[in-house]
Structure 1
Amino acid sequence: MNDTPLRPGMAAVSILAGMFALGITDNFVPYISETGSLWQFHMVRGVMAVALLVVVAGVGVGVIRPISWAAVLGRSLFPASAMLIYFGCLSVLPIGVVVAGLFTAPLFVLLMSVLFLGERVGVVRLFAVLIGFVGAMLVIQPDPKALDPVAFLPVFAGFLYAIGALATRRWCADEGAVALSAGFFGMLAIFGAIGLMIVPAGGPVGFDGFVQRGWVPLTAEMWFWIAVQAVGSIIGIGLIFRGYLLGEAGFVAVFEYSLLVFASFWAWFLWGQTVGGLALAGMGLIAVSGTVISLRTEEAISVRAVKVPEEET
């Protein structure tokens, strides 16, 4: 059992603060993507994040050594792949659209739970999945005459994140939050290192070249923004963990959709990015769909961080 008393109000504040932090830090990525490399960013940020988690574990906050290395590494493949796509898309798509795609993850969790795990769901949650699908189509707005596969990548990231959520439940139920976070960031660092070995150094200039660039000289400004991203991610995810300790999963998960608002607001404030009316309506439908699924599911998933496993007394 979890010994921390439930405090719904503080749980909501913690989740909102975590999403506020992530909404800001994700909007700092364009400072890196204009001249930097996606692969270099993930390698450097991953190493920084793991080092921070080692310090956190060293002062007695959690345990970084996993119970099962194979389970943690296997689970980490999926959310790390999702974040690789997520950050790559931030350089070419509005951040609100990218976040909305990632937040389709609860829809995929529900569908895969029914199709592959034999779980039974009611009409309400099935209708919520339909609403979420309509919302995703409104955000993507596919044009058969000029179909852009990149527009579907955030939804594919949501699909991969959903697999990671199911893997967390099945393989890593007894693992701690610090160990799971270290596995996630460590896997991203490995992905980044592999990318740097494959992608030639240098590459096209501008935001579109973020994914196509290999190793580039790291300026003081890039070091600063990567460090800000690493620290901001740890703070944001830490606040999300805290929220899941203080509140019921279904209740807490609803507040994660505030990221759609925070990310879109900061994208408008910092970069002048705007989202059209249909896309805004789609984002709203995705939020409604995820809210319904979360409130009617005992084990709601966290989209930007894993739920903290309960400790046995």
Structure 2
Amino acid sequence: MNEQSTKPALAAISVLGGMAALGLTDNFVPHISERGSLWQFHLVRSVMAFLVLGAVVAFGFGSLRAKRPVAVLGRSLFQAGAMLIYFGCLSVLPIGVVVAGLFTSPLFVVLISILFQGKSVGLFRWTAVVIGFVGALLVIRPDPSALDPISFLPIVAGLLYAIGAVATRAWCEGESTLTLTAGFFGMLGVFGLIGVFVVSGEAPAGHDGFVLRSWGPLDAEMLFWFAVQAVGSLIGIGLIFRGYLLGEASHVAVFEYSLLVFASFWAWVLWDQTVPVLGLFGMVLIALAGSIIALRSTAPVGAGRVPE
């Protein structure tokens, strides 16, 4: 993308709009987790997403066909795995903590590029990794006397998302955004289908049973919230993709961290969830670290970069 073809202001607005949509719709997950199932959620939402994608293709706006199906499948496996953990954590952890954990992904991208791709990293990005790690600790605030492994799961999601981001560039160059989106939702649908048949037994009532239920009621209210999630995620992802088509990826990436603000704001408005001062400072450090990595990189390194 040359300098003349970029539209930085429109790119920023597009990404901010996408993050605002995701920050709002992700806060509706508690409406689903109260009675529904994580596996049912991903299965039904993926079916709805494919109906929308199918309509887009039917009207002549692109194709879902992959040029390298195995590469798209591999990339989708990691990205969908990250989202499986992400949404599972939303039922038991504050959304600010979960989003902050996911956004440690640029730190892992740097480490992956060093350990597995033989790339050299300068002082600025090494400093960013340290800053981001400290920020993650401030958000999670692990208590050595009562360590809860669940608190670290969002960081595992960040690791999987980082692998998916590296795979996007290394394996899926030239694939369309529709293809990658379809692969992502398709893999989540497969995970959901497997979970529906594998997960069994008694599940606790309320949000604690979200991951342990195989299926929940599929009444009008649940279908409404599933549809909100499907449409909201497609709008959010579409706006983010559009932002990367309009602007330089390394600069656009900085605006993705607005999700920390949008998600925390709506969690406060809708659920009266507040973030402690140390947690807020940790989020700032994570956003700062990711911004440094994005701006100091010659190639996009944040979470979820996709080619045109």
TM-score (norm 1): 0.96
Q: Tell me, yes or no, if the aligned pair for 1:201 and 1:216 is still in contact at 8 Å.
A: no
Q: Tell me, yes or no, if the aligned pair for 2:169 and 2:306 is still in contact at 8 Å.
A: no
Distance in 2 between residues matched to 1:213 and 1:249, nearest whole Å: 40
Higher mean C-alpha deviation, range 214-223 or range 248-257 = 214-223
Tell me: CA distance 1:133–1:302, structure 2 relative to 1, closer, same or farther (3 Å).
Answer: closer
Question: What is the DSSP-based 3-state SS (H/G/I as helix, E as strand, rest coil) of the residue aligned with 1:64?
Answer: coil
Correspondence list, 1:1-313, <5 A: 5-200=5-200, 203-303=203-303, 305-309=304-308
Structure 2: give runs of 5+ residues left out of the alignment: none
Q: Tell me, yes or no, if the aligned pair for 1:301 and 1:307 is still in contact at 8 Å.
A: no
Distance in 1 between residues matched to 2:230 and 2:3, nearest whole Å: 30
Q: Give 1:69 shift.
A: 1.2
Higher mean C-alpha deviation, range 174-183 or range 192-201 = 192-201
Structure 1: give runs of 5+ residues left out of the alignment: none
Tell me: CA distance 1:236–1:302, structure 2 relative to 1, closer, same or farther (3 Å).
Answer: farther
The AA in structure 1 aligned to 2:27 is N
Q: Give 1:2 shift.
A: 7.5
The AA in structure 2 aligned to 1:307 is V
Question: What is the DSSP-based 3-state SS (H/G/I as helix, E as strand, rest coil) of the residue aligned with 2:143?
Answer: coil
The AA in structure 2 aligned to 1:98 is V
Tell me: CA distance 1:4–1:55, structure 2 relative to 1, closer, same or farther (3 Å).
Answer: farther
Q: Tell me, yes or no, if the aligned pair for 1:139 and 1:282 is still in contact at 8 Å.
A: yes
Q: Tell me, yes or no, if the aligned pair for 1:202 and 1:215 is still in contact at 8 Å.
A: no
Question: What is the DSSP-based 3-state SS (H/G/I as helix, E as strand, rest coil) of the residue aligned with 2:142?
Answer: coil
The number of residues matched between the two structures is 308
Tell me: CA distance 1:224–1:267, structure 2 relative to 1, closer, same or farther (3 Å).
Answer: same
Q: Tell me, yes or no, if the aligned pair for 1:202 and 1:214 is still in contact at 8 Å.
A: no
Distance in 2 between residues matched to 1:253 and 1:118, nearest whole Å: 23
Q: Tell me, yes or no, if the aligned pair for 1:30 and 1:91 is still in contact at 8 Å.
A: yes
Question: What is the DSSP-based 3-state SS (H/G/I as helix, E as strand, rest coil) of the residue aligned with 2:264?
Answer: helix
Distance in 2 between residues matched to 1:47 and 1:3, nearest whole Å: 39
The AA in structure 1 aligned to 2:24 is I
Write out per-residue CA displacement over residues 29-70 of structure 1, whole angstroms, 9 at most, x where no aligned residue: 000001100000000001111221121122222321111111
Distance in 1 between residues matched to 2:108 and 2:24, nearest whole Å: 27
Tell me: CA distance 1:201–1:192, structure 2 relative to 1, closer, same or farther (3 Å).
Answer: farther
Distance in 1 between residues matched to 2:288 and 2:60, nearest whole Å: 39
How big is the alpha-carbon RMSD for the aligned residues of Structure 1 and Structure 2? 1.4
The AA in structure 2 aligned to 1:106 is P
Q: Tell me, yes or no, if the aligned pair for 2:109 and 2:302 is still in contact at 8 Å.
A: no
Q: Tell me, yes or no, if the aligned pair for 1:43 and 1:189 is still in contact at 8 Å.
A: yes
Distance in 1 between residues matched to 2:107 and 2:60, nearest whole Å: 36
Q: Give 1:3 shift.
A: 11
Q: Tell me, yes or no, if the aligned pair for 1:45 and 1:230 is still in contact at 8 Å.
A: yes
Tell me: CA distance 1:208–1:37, structure 2 relative to 1, closer, same or farther (3 Å).
Answer: same
Q: Tell me, yes or no, if the aligned pair for 2:35 and 2:217 is still in contact at 8 Å.
A: no
Q: Tell me, yes or no, if the aligned pair for 1:34 and 1:206 is still in contact at 8 Å.
A: yes
Q: Tell me, yes or no, if the aligned pair for 2:78 and 2:163 is still in contact at 8 Å.
A: yes
Tell me: CA distance 1:49–1:90, structure 2 relative to 1, closer, same or farther (3 Å).
Answer: same
| % identity of equivalent residues | 65
Distance in 2 between residues matched to 1:294 and 1:202, nearest whole Å: 45
Q: Give 1:226 shift.
A: 0.4
